[in-house]
Structure 1
Amino acid sequence: MQIKKIAGYLPDKYSKYADKTFTFSNQPIVSFPIELADLPNETQFLALTLVDYDAIPVCGFPWIHWVVTNIPVTEHIPENFSQTDTQSVRGKNSFGSPFLEPADDKLVEHYVGPTPPDKDHHYTLTVYALDTKLALQNGFYLNELRTKLNQNVLDQASIEILAKK
């Protein structure tokens, strides 16, 4: 699995320093492209998660930036997939938390890029190769995805992505 980096960091376009044209409610919403390789032959669909575990000291829990499943199998997830795709099933990120002010669905059920407030953060991107569609609807939570993954994962891979404070 590969993503483009600049000097080891996620490019500004996909994070806190995104141009205003790539944001919504001051949050970066253009998802980065992902290149995949060596998927098992039996792979029918993909799922992915993007989680910031460095957020725990800041807000008390890992911050979920993106969760999506039932992506038709591909070796290239294009830029802005989160906003343009109509086939996959979108889960709620941390903006869907009942502990926060209600947020627009354009934020809650889509990619929201890194905006680390205190220091550079490491983000864990995990892609799962699935043998079937998962029985989930738009608006599911990460724990629901994890339950469904138990029976249907052929393989998975994770990478760490660094984003600037």
Structure 2
Amino acid sequence: MKISVPLENGMLADKYGKHAPAAYQLEGHPTVSFPLTIADVPANTKSLALTFLDWDAIPVSGFCWIHWLACNFPAGTTLIPENASASGAVPCVQGSNSDWSPLAGSWTDPRIIHRYAGPYPPDKDHVYTLTVYALDTELDLEEGYFLNEFRRAVRGHVIEEVVLDLPSRA
């Protein structure tokens, strides 16, 4: 399986993160997700899923920051277009990002906490980890699920996974 995200000068485009124009934000949160191209999905795939995590957040916040969780994309998906997280352009079930946490502001608006939350590196450039999973099933998860629930649900169902590091500027 292969995945790609367009970069600008080796970085995730500003419009998908901290430096997004106001039209790409909701209450100060970058909410327009980046486009993702997927190719060579294994033939026996029943659904696709993704995680978008910031391991570089650990020294700053004390935990890995979750920016996007989504599952049950149709197996034949070859493009998740820009803003698919908010627009619903490709059917999927989205989980909770870290903005819901009391350690991150206790946001409650599902448009903020159950969708893509763009990179917002507070201290220096961070490298964000996008992982796409080809699964042999659809996951029995409901909107707003948590990363721990996702990890349990995919156990034994991952046919293939691919990782792409996406740097974003502070």
Same fold per superposition (TM over 0.5): yes
List aligned pairs for 1:62-141, cutoff 5 A. 62-73=64-75, 74-85=77-88, 87-103=91-107, 104-141=109-146
1:50 to 48, 52, 57: 52
Partner of 1:162: 167
Greater mean alpha carbon deviation, residues 74-83 or residues 93-102: 93-102
Query: What is the deviation of 1:38?
Result: 1.2
Query: What is the deviation of 1:102?
Result: 2.5
1:10 and 1:132 map into 2 onto residues whose CA distance is 31
Q: The residue matched to 1:36 in structure 2 has which SS? A: strand
1:97 and 1:26 map into 2 onto residues whose CA distance is 16
Q: What are the ranges of 5 or more consecutive residues in structure 1 without an aligned counterpart?
A: none
Q: What is the identity, as a one-letter code, of the residue corresponding to 2:65?
A: W
Q: What are the ranges of 5 or more consecutive residues in structure 2 without an aligned counterpart?
A: none
Residues 1-26 of structure 1, C-alpha deviation per residue, up to 9 Å, x if partnerless? 11000000000110111110010011
Q: What is the identity, as a one-letter code, of the residue corresponding to 1:55?
A: A
1:99 and 1:159 map into 2 onto residues whose CA distance is 27
Under a length normalisation based on structure 1, what TM-score does the superposition of the two structures give?
0.96
1:33 and 1:114 map into 2 onto residues whose CA distance is 15
Partner of 1:10: 12
Under a length normalisation based on structure 2, what TM-score does the superposition of the two structures give?
0.94
1:99 and 1:34 map into 2 onto residues whose CA distance is 29
Query: What is the deviation of 1:132?
Result: 1.3
How many percent of aligned residue pairs carry the same amino acid?
Answer: 45
Higher strand proportion (structure 1 or 2): 2
Query: What is the deviation of 1:98?
Result: 3.6
Residues 25-81 of structure 1, C-alpha deviation per residue, up to 9 Å, x if partnerless? 111100000011111001121110000000001100000000011111211111111
2:106 and 2:56 map into 1 onto residues whose CA distance is 23
Query: What is the deviation of 1:87?
Result: 2.8
